[in-house]
Chain A
C-alpha cells in the first residue's frame, strides 16, 4: 500500500515541479543553489568512506563519528585558542589524519583479513567509543560556531557564504585528492593497492603502510568535512549518524571506491533532499533517497561509476 502512495506523491510533485519550470518560478534557482551546496557537502562527507573502501574493502562505520570528531576539533580549537573556524580547518585535518592512522594500526590492520562481520563490529565499536568520548568531553548539547559571513545574491536567490565556502572546500579537496592519487608516487602506490593488494605486495609496496595512510587520509577527509560543516551549521555528537547514512547511500550510488562517483552521488542525494523536501509531502524525500539506494543495488550493483570486479 505504501509504494502506490509514494508513487502518487512523486507524480504530483513532478507535475508541480513541471509547472514551476514552465512558469520560470524564481524558487527553482534558490532550490538549485541549495541542492548544489548541500550536495557538495554530502560528496565531501562521502569521499573518505569511498576511499577507504576502494583501497581496503573495509566499510568504515566509524566514518560518521570521524566527521563529528572534525567538528569538535574545530570547536575546541576555536573556543579555547579563539581563532577563526576557517583557520582551524588544517588543524582538524592533521588531527584526524593522526587519529585515522592510530585507528588503522590498533584496530583495523589486525582484523584486515578477518571475516567482514569482524570489521563491522570493530568500526562500529570505534564509533561508539568516539561518541562516548565526545559526550564526556563536550556534553550532548547542540553547539554552534556558525560564522556570520552573510550571503551572496544571484537574481534574487540567496547564496549563504558559509555554505559556499564549504562547497569550495569540497571541490578543492576532491581536486587535491585526485591530483595526489594520479600524480604522486604515494598516490600511485595507493591506487596499485586498491587495484590488486596481492600484486602490490609482489612489486614491493608496503601494503600495511599504505592501509594506514589510506585510513589516515580517509579520516582527514572526514575531519575536513566536519570542519567545513561547522562553518554554516550547528552540530551535536549525534549528527554523525545521518552523515554516515547519507555517505553510505552516496558511495553505493556513485560506485564503491569511485571518487567521481562520490561527487555525482552527493549531488544527486543533495538534489533529492532539497527538491524532494520542497515538492513532496512530509519527509517522503527521505524515503525516495532510500528507494533509490535499494533500486540501484538491484539494477546496477556496481553503482553509477563503479566497475564490476570479476
Chain B
C-alpha cells in the first residue's frame, strides 16, 4: 500500500514497531512458558523458585491433639480453571471421593471417628497464585494438611508458604526435582516420581521390557520440550540409557506451542534408532505423532516418558490409531487392587463422568496417606502429623507402586512410574508384571 505524506503516521509507525517489539517479546515469553497440557504425568518445570506470594508467615490452625477432633481439613491447592483446569478438577474430585470413602468407613478411628473434609481452591495454574491460595487454605479454611499443586512453579511457591506456616504439604503431582531436592524443606513430601525418577524408571523398564520380549533396543532418538522440565528429563535419559546399553543417536528440542514438528520428525527418521522417545506435553505429543506420519515413518519402538502421549486416553484418542502399540510411563492406579474398581465406579456415579486422568491416583493416595498419618499420630495437630509422615509406611493406597515411605528429603522412596502400552486406543499398564493390566504386544 502506497505512501502518504502524513508526518504523524511516520512517527506513529515507528512507535508502533517499537512497542510491537516489546509486546511481541513479551508474548514470546508467554509462548515459551512452562505450560502444560493438563493431561499428562508431567507439569511445568519448577526451576524458577517462587516466593510464595506475599503471604507472611501464616500460622497453622491445628487443633489440639486428642480424641475430641470432629473434623480434619485437607486443603487442595489445584488449578480448577485455565489451561490446567481439566486435570485439576479431576484431581480435586479424586480427593473428595477419597475423603468420602474414608468418612463412609467411619472416619479417623484414633480421633474418635473424626471426619475428613477436602477443601479445594483454584490456583489457576499460575505461580503467583500458589502462595496466596496456600495461605487461604491454611488460615481461612483451617487446613491441617495441604496437597497440590500440579504445576511445579506453583508448588514451589505453595510449599514455601506451608513451610513457614508449619503445615505439612504432601505433593500429589508436581514433577520438578527442584521442589524437594536442595531446598531443605521440613514440611514437604511427594508421592509421585520426580522428573529424574520418571525418566530413570523409563530407562530401566523400557529396555528390560523390550529385551524380555526379544526386541532390540540398542539405540534411541529423543525429541524433548525445550524448557527446564524437558531438559532435565533429557539429561536423565542421556545418562541413564547408556547404563542400560542403549546409545542415544539423536536428540532434538522443540519449543512450547511450536506450530509444526515435521523437522524433528525428519531428524528422527534419519536417525532410524531402535526406539524413539518423546518428552513433552499432550499437545506436543499429538503434533509429533502427526509429523511422524507426515514423513511416513514409524519407529520400531514408539515410546515416550514424562508425557501423556501414550498414557492419557484423551490424548491417545486425539492421536488415533497411530498411537496403538506406543509405550509410555507414568504413575497410575493399580488395577489389580479391588479398591481401584470401586474408585472408578464411584467416581462415575459421583461426578457423572469417567475417571480418565491418571493424576487422580496420586491425589486419592494423598488422602490415604493423611488418613494413615492421622491414625498413627492420634492427633490432628499439623506438627504431629508432620512428625508421623517422616516415619510412616502406607500400604493401603490404590497407586501402582509399593508402600509409600518418605525419605529425609520428602521424596517417596518407593515411587514408581510403570510402563504403559496403547492397545486398542487405551493406555494399559504392561510392566512391571506385578502391576500389569495386559501383556505387552510387539
Smallest CB separation, B422 vs chain A (Å): 15
From the candidates A141, A248, A282, A310, name the one contacting B5 in the complex (CB within 8 A).
A310
From the candidates A135, A160, A234, A301, name the one contacting B294 in the complex (CB within 8 A).
A160
CA gap between A283 and B263 in the complex, in Å: 12
Q: With A191-B1, A234-B287 in contact, do A59 and B16 touch (Cβ < 8 Å)?
A: yes
Let me know if B282 is at the binding interface, CB within 8 A.
yes
CA gap between A286 and B257 in the complex, in Å: 12
Chain B residue numbers with a CB within 8 Å of A30 are 266, 295
Let me know if A57 is at the binding interface, CB within 8 A.
yes
The answer to whether A283 and B254 touch across the interface, beta carbons within 8 angstroms, is: yes
Residues of chain A from 289 to 308 with CB closer than 8 A to chain B in the complex: 290, 293-294, 297, 301, 307-308
Let me know if A72 is at the binding interface, CB within 8 A.
no
The answer to whether A234 and B262 touch across the interface, beta carbons within 8 angstroms, is: no
Let me know if A129 is at the binding interface, CB within 8 A.
no
Smallest CB separation, B322 vs chain A (Å): 10
Residues of chain A from 87 to 102 with CB closer than 8 A to chain B in the complex: none
Let me know if B183 is at the binding interface, CB within 8 A.
no
Q: Of A10-18, A169-177, A271-279, which binds chain B?
A: A271-279
Chain A residue numbers with a CB within 8 Å of B37 are 141-142, 236
Let me know if B56 is at the binding interface, CB within 8 A.
no
Q: With A198-B6, A236-B283, A309-B9 in contact, do A141 and B259 touch (Cβ < 8 Å)?
A: no
Q: With A57-B9, A239-B259 in contact, do A310 and B319 touch (Cβ < 8 Å)?
A: no
Chain B residue numbers with a CB within 8 Å of A277 are 252, 254, 263-264
Smallest CB separation, A203 vs chain B (Å): 14
The answer to whether B286 and A158 touch across the interface, beta carbons within 8 angstroms, is: no
Let me know if B314 is at the binding interface, CB within 8 A.
yes
CA gap between A199 and B296 in the complex, in Å: 56
Let me know if A43 is at the binding interface, CB within 8 A.
no
Q: Of A77-85, A215-223, A250-258, which binds chain B?
A: A250-258
Chain B residue numbers with a CB within 8 Å of A257 are 1
CA gap between A257 and B17 in the complex, in Å: 12
Chain B residue numbers with a CB within 8 Å of A38 are 259-260, 262
Number of interface residues of B (CB under 8 A): 65
Let me know if B345 is at the binding interface, CB within 8 A.
no
Q: Of B20-28, B41-49, B205-213, B214-222, which binds chain A?
A: B20-28
The answer to whether B266 and A249 touch across the interface, beta carbons within 8 angstroms, is: no
Q: Of A1-9, A143-151, A204-212, which binds chain B?
A: A143-151
Let me know if A163 is at the binding interface, CB within 8 A.
yes
The answer to whether B3 and A146 touch across the interface, beta carbons within 8 angstroms, is: no
Q: With A241-B27, A241-B257, A278-B267 in contact, do A139 and B10 touch (Cβ < 8 Å)?
A: no
The answer to whether A301 and B17 touch across the interface, beta carbons within 8 angstroms, is: yes
From the candidates B1, B17, B254, B314, name the one contacting A54 in the complex (CB within 8 A).
B1
The answer to whether A116 and B24 touch across the interface, beta carbons within 8 angstroms, is: no
Smallest CB separation, A9 vs chain B (Å): 13
The answer to whether A34 and B263 touch across the interface, beta carbons within 8 angstroms, is: yes
B165-200 interface bits toward A, Cβ cutoff 8 Å, 1 = contact, 0 = none: 000000000000000000000000000000000000
Q: With A116-B12, A116-B16, A282-B226 in contact, do A142 and B283 touch (Cβ < 8 Å)?
A: yes
The answer to whether A233 and B20 touch across the interface, beta carbons within 8 angstroms, is: no
Chain A residue numbers with a CB within 8 Å of B38 are 140-141
The answer to whether A163 and B24 touch across the interface, beta carbons within 8 angstroms, is: no
The answer to whether A252 and B253 touch across the interface, beta carbons within 8 angstroms, is: no
Let me know if B13 is at the binding interface, CB within 8 A.
yes
Let me know if B258 is at the binding interface, CB within 8 A.
yes
Smallest CB separation, A80 vs chain B (Å): 18
Let me know if B64 is at the binding interface, CB within 8 A.
no
Q: With A238-B83, A310-B3 in contact, do A278 and B263 touch (Cβ < 8 Å)?
A: yes
Let me know if A263 is at the binding interface, CB within 8 A.
no
From the candidates B5, B255, B262, B314, name the one contacting A274 in the complex (CB within 8 A).
B262
Smallest CB separation, A292 vs chain B (Å): 12
The answer to whether B23 and A120 touch across the interface, beta carbons within 8 angstroms, is: yes
CA gap between A196 and B8 in the complex, in Å: 12
Residues of chain A from 1 to 57 with CB closer than 8 A to chain B in the complex: 27, 30-31, 34, 37-38, 41-42, 53-55, 57
Smallest CB separation, B4 vs chain A (Å): 4
Chain A residue numbers with a CB within 8 Å of B260 are 34, 38, 233, 273-274
B367-390 interface bits toward A, Cβ cutoff 8 Å, 1 = contact, 0 = none: 000000000000000000000000
CA gap between A142 and B226 in the complex, in Å: 19
Chain A residue numbers with a CB within 8 Å of B82 are 135, 140
The answer to whether B266 and A297 touch across the interface, beta carbons within 8 angstroms, is: no
Chain B residue numbers with a CB within 8 Å of A237 are 83
The answer to whether B4 and A258 touch across the interface, beta carbons within 8 angstroms, is: no
Smallest CB separation, A162 vs chain B (Å): 8
The answer to whether B15 and A116 touch across the interface, beta carbons within 8 angstroms, is: yes
Smallest CB separation, B261 vs chain A (Å): 9
Chain B residue numbers with a CB within 8 Å of A281 are 253
The answer to whether B4 and A309 touch across the interface, beta carbons within 8 angstroms, is: yes
Chain A residue numbers with a CB within 8 Å of B296 are 151, 158
From the candidates A53, A160, A273, A308, name the one contacting B3 in the complex (CB within 8 A).
A308
Chain B residue numbers with a CB within 8 Å of A117 are 19
Residue of B nearest to A136 (CB): B81
Chain B residue numbers with a CB within 8 Å of A196 are 4, 6
The answer to whether A194 and B1 touch across the interface, beta carbons within 8 angstroms, is: yes
Chain A residue numbers with a CB within 8 Å of B28 are 245, 290
Let me know if B352 is at the binding interface, CB within 8 A.
no
B79-91 interface bits toward A, Cβ cutoff 8 Å, 1 = contact, 0 = none: 0011111100000
From the candidates A194, A278, A286, A293, name the one contacting B266 in the complex (CB within 8 A).
A278
CA gap between A34 and B291 in the complex, in Å: 11
CA gap between A274 and B264 in the complex, in Å: 9
Chain A residue numbers with a CB within 8 Å of B9 are 57, 309
Smallest CB separation, B32 vs chain A (Å): 8
A-B contact pairs, 24 of them (CB 8 A): A34-B260, A38-B259, A57-B9, A120-B19, A124-B23, A135-B83, A141-B86, A142-B37, A142-B282, A142-B315, A142-B318, A143-B318, A144-B319, A146-B290, A233-B287, A239-B259, A241-B31, A245-B27, A278-B263, A278-B267, A309-B3, A309-B10, A309-B13, A310-B10
Given contacts A237-B83, A246-B259, 10 further A-B contacts (CB under 8 A): A30-B295, A34-B262, A42-B259, A140-B38, A142-B315, A163-B294, A195-B2, A233-B260, A273-B263, A310-B5
